Amino acid sequence: MRADVITIFPDYLAPLDLSLIGQARRRGLLDLHVHDLRDFTHDRHRTVDDTPYGGGAGMVMKPEPWGEALDHVVSGHDGRPVLVVPGPGGAPFTQQMARELAGRNWLVFGCGRYEGIDERVYEDAARLADVRVVSLGDYVLNGGEVAVLAMIEAVMRLVPGVIGNAESLVEESHEGGLLEYPVYTKPARWRGRDVPEVLLSGDHGRIATWRHEQRLERTAARRPDLLHTASALTSTGFGELAVTVATPADLGELLTLTHACWLQEALGNHTLDIPAVHETLESLTTSLQGWQTYAVRSGGRLVASVRGRLVDDDWHIGRLMVAPDLQGRGLGRMLLEHIQRVAPAGATAYSLVTGAASDRNHRMYRKAGFRLVADPETPGIVHFVKRRR
Ligand code: J9T
């Protein structure tokens, strides 16, 4: 992994020499370069900020030093980095985003200060990099440096070899969407407080049940926002989600969900030329005949859907969708498993299509054993196939 950090306070990044990240650098797993933004100024005062056009409080970072710094960092290396700019107005930084970034081989971090960076810097940088503005949470820091320290740590610990395997599995348990259970070690009694009896019982079934209850309780107390989907999505399957074959009664909500989900795809693929975007009640009604459509409800709400249709011996999978607010929790993956499971006996293969730029979908399909097949005839669309076992 190569990482570049552009900042006006290079010393702020000194902690990256310590601990596991420092070790990863010395072992050659992380090739880190910290650049001083002021080295790309040309005036006596090494000025990086100026007053905002249109008035208002504070100072704005000037575009010229940023442009030169980014040109310098990116030139002379192969590949296209992700440019991560931390800021309170960004997309939330999550474990899922950390995983995505850990899968790239080059990250450039741009640390803003003051009221932000001239907007044209982001636009211009898109020539060189995939630009992501990313927030650690709903609060304001003085600059992006501390956020970059947090992000590099969260990303690097997912890079194979940086830490042992045991720890990386801990992530998986977070993926169920519940917080961790409380942990204890010796002594069994400390300052009059006993370790919960169940943990000393040696009864692994009871221990597992107790830990699950603790996770639910803790999540309800500290992160109630996670609880609805988390309790619905058990590790063994759909849990409290009701999966039914869609009927005409589902069509109104299904149409809305289709539009909501494919609006995302349209934006991500820069095109409105996607059939699902133009779905009507009539076309959806007709589709119930040709396709076997499944509707997933949670607490009464239609939250996901998928459909399948046998063409010769090929099970076509389509319209795999999860409500935008519930994405990233494994629901799509479970539905993909479901639609394969229910394929008729005559199916010998699965196939599906998705947008060429829908990276998240591509990753999910690959993980599920699908293979990308080249299709030069439909630009903007890619086909995935998988043999049925
Ligand atoms: C200047 O950067 C910030 O204030 C910042 C960065 C990342 N996440 C935040 N919540 C704030």
Distance 112 CA to ligand 1 centre (A): 9
CB of 87 closer than 6 A to ligand 1?
yes
Structure confidence by residue, pLDDT tens digits, 78-110: 999 999 999 999 999 998 899 999 999 999 999
Q: What is the bridge-based pairing of β-strands 82-92 and 130-135?
A: parallel
- For residue 232, is pLDDT > 80? no
Structure confidence by residue, pLDDT tens digits, 200-210: 999 999 998 99
Dihedrals φ, ψ of 4, to 5°?
Answer: -115, 140
Dihedrals φ, ψ of 131, to 5°?
Answer: -90, 130
- For residue 169, is pLDDT > 60? no
Ligand 1 atom with least separation from CA of 136: 8
Using most ligand atoms within 8 A of CB, pick from 60, 141, 142, 153 the residue to mutate for ligand 1. Answer: 141
Distance 300 CA to ligand 1 centre (A): 37
Structure confidence by residue, pLDDT tens digits, 49-80: 999 999 999 999 999 999 999 999 999 899 99
Instruction: Please check whether residue 4 is in contact with residue 108, taking contact to mean a CB–CB distance below 8 angstroms.
Output: yes
Give the per-residue pLDDT at 274.
87
Helices (H), ranges, 223-376 = 224-232, 251-269, 281-290, 331-341, 359-367
- For residue 173, is pLDDT > 60? no
Nearest-angstrom CA–CA distance, 240 and 296: 10
Ligand 1 atom with least separation from CA of 135: 8
CB of 114 closer than 6 A to ligand 1?
no
Mention every residue, 6+ apart, whose C-beta is less than 8 A from residue 112. Answer: 61, 85, 86, 87, 143, 144
Nearest-angstrom CA–CA distance, 113 and 125: 18
Give the per-residue pLDDT at 358.
86
Distance 92 CA to ligand 1 centre (A): 10
Give the per-residue pLDDT at 168.
55
Nearest CA to ligand 1 atom 1: 143
Q: Residues 43, 48, 51, 53: what is their CA dihedral angle, to the nearest 10 degrees?
A: 100
Least confident residue range of 237-241, 273-277, 331-335: 237-241
Give the per-residue pLDDT at 59.
96
pLDDT grade, residue 236 (50/70/90)?
Answer: very low
> b vs e for 216-247, b when ≥16 Cβ sit within 10 Å of the residue's Cβ?
beebeeeeeebbbbbbbbeeeebeebebeebe
CB of 339 closer than 6 A to ligand 1?
no
Nearest-angstrom CA–CA distance, 262 and 307: 15
What mean pLDDT is predicted for residues 194-203?
Answer: 97
3-state class percentages of the chain: helix first, strand second, coil last, to nearest 5: 40, 25, 35
DSSP lists the bridge partners of residue 243 as 296
Nearest-angstrom CA–CA distance, 88 and 95: 17
Domains defined along the chain, listed by start: 2-165 (3.40.1280.10), 176-232 (1.10.1270.20), 242-387 (3.40.630.30)
CB of 146 closer than 6 A to ligand 1?
no
Distance 169 CA to ligand 1 centre (A): 29
Ligand 1 atom with least separation from CA of 140: 4
What mean pLDDT is predicted for residues 134-153?
Answer: 97
